[in-house]
Amino acid sequence: MKKNLSAGRQSRKIKKAGTVCLTALVLLISLVWLAPLYITAVNSFAPPAAEESAAAQETQFIKISLLPSGFSLEQYSQLLIRTPVYLTMFWNSVLITLSVALGSVLASLLGAYGFTVLRFRGKDIIFLIYIIAMLLPLQVTLMPNYMTASFLGIENSYLAVILPAVFNPFGVFLLRQQMKILPYECTEAAKIDGAGHPQIFFYITLPMVKSGIAAVLMLTAIEYWNLIDQAIVFIKKFERYPMSMFLSRINQEMSGLSFAAATFYVMPILALLLYGHEYIKNGIGLISAKER
């Protein structure tokens, strides 16, 4: 009896020690990931003169501090009031991101509904091609997309960036997997009652895949807020660049404002993640839970 009690106590001690070690490891990893955000935010409120003088040195390194040496909104004032091109590129990013996210949700819903509900020959083969296209790196598809944009006469415009992104196969894949787990009896009962595909789509399918729609919307917005490669290839005019393209330039030409620019750049997407991380988790987790 005493041996069992001592073995149980030892087991609890080992579990407690394991929990403490795991918690410490998670906290350490979190600190490593949060450190750049903290340093950027803290230094964005420092007077810009210190950063400019440091950037002017031969080493070209920007001086940073872990603790705030002072509080000033001068960087934000120069960035948002005296640098109008920055706000112009901010709204360029908003336009591209919203257009891609909303268009991708609409196209993905229609494609996923067709692959799930409609019956036609070759459906599985076409979906397999979708999966292969989803696995291709972006750089592989840039040249075909550029040739298509050149043929349509939309190069050097936002349409050359938006149209390929709208038909991204990832959204179709995610929503199709979620629509597959919907009760088959619901659509069959609606068909018996005389409902057509528009009624089934709007009144049965859409309400049941809200979490998947939110996941596609936010994941697409996060991806295209950080637009780089497509902007380099398709957009030639500087004033039409998204804000992600301007950050490298501001680091070279206006290094004293780089912290404020980076902080302002990350705020919208960070707010979206904080607000919608539950939707992303539910939209993706629901699929794996149902399939198990």
Q: Which amino acid, residue 9?
A: R
Count of Cβ atoms closer than 10 Å to residue 271 Cβ: 10
Q: Coil, helix or strand for 267?
A: helix
Contacts of residues 246-249 at CB distance under 8 Å and 24 or more positions apart, as own/partner, are 246/85, 246/86, 246/89
What homologous superfamily does CATH list for 76-291? MetI-like (1.10.3720.10)
Model confidence over 186-231: pLDDT tens digits?
777 877 777 787 888 888 888 888 888 888 998 899 889 988 888 8
- Residue 197 exposed, middle or buried by CB count within 10 Å (0-12, 13-18, 19+): middle
Q: What is the mean pLDDT of the chain?
A: 80
The percent helix, strand, coil of the chain (3-state, each to 5) is: 80, 0, 20
Q: How far does CA 83 lie from the centroid of its chain? A: 27
Q: What is the pLDDT of residues 21-69, one digit of tens each?
A: 888 888 889 888 888 888 888 888 877 554 444 444 444 556 667 776 7
* Chain centroid, CA 50 distance in Å: 34
Q: What is the structure's pLDDT at 54?
A: 44
Mean pLDDT of 158-185: 86
> Would you kindly state where each structural domain of the chain is located, as residue ranges?
2-44, 76-291
Q: What are 115-124's pLDDT values in tens digits?
A: 888 888 888 8
As a whole-number percent, the residues of the chain with pLDDT over 70 amount to 84
Q: Identify whether the C-beta of residue 237 lies closer than 8 Å to the C-beta of residue 58.
A: no
User: For 126-146, what is each residue's pLDDT tens digit?
Assistant: 888 888 888 888 888 888 888
Decide if 212 contacts 174 (C-beta within 8 A).
Answer: yes
Q: What is the pLDDT of residue 58?
A: 45
Whole-angstrom CA distances from 92 to 61, 87, 98, 234 are 30, 8, 10, 14
* pLDDT at position 95 over 90: yes
Q: Which residues contact 284 (CB under 8 A, 6 or more apart)?
A: 174, 215
